[in-house]
Amino acid sequence: MGGWSSAPLGEDGKPRRWTAHEGDQYRYMRAIPTMPMCLACHGANIAPEVTAAVRPNYPEDQATGFAPGQLRGALSIRWDEAALARSIRNGETVH
């Protein structure tokens, strides 16, 4: 998991993933890399009209200056082992 900040994309070009069994919980994490479409609002050269539209809603926003492929964040999900087992037993799936 430590290499995510410098390389959130794997060799296959997809976001890195990490799973673990921690005590009575399962954990899944997936890197959220900066993709080209993110740069309109989060890149180094944001159009003035975009800044003007974003600033009223996010006056303290500092999530700018990113380049493609840099780590923007991570999705983290924890499942209680008993609840996960119950869902699997009941045939419930997550899509």
- What's the residue count for the chain? 95
32-42 tens-digit pLDDT: 889 999 999 99
Q: How far is CA 85 from the centre of its chain?
A: 26
Categorize the per-residue pLDDT at 82 as very low, low, confident or very high, splitting at 50, 70 and 90. confident
Q: What is the pLDDT of residue 79?
A: 86
Q: Which of 32, 28, 30 minimizes the C-alpha distance to 78?
A: 28
Site of tokens 């050269």:
45
Full-model pTM? 0.63
User: What's phi and psi for 19, nearest 5 deg?
Assistant: -130, 155
Mean pLDDT of the chain: 85
17-63 tens-digit pLDDT: 888 888 888 888 888 889 999 999 999 999 999 999 999 999 999 99
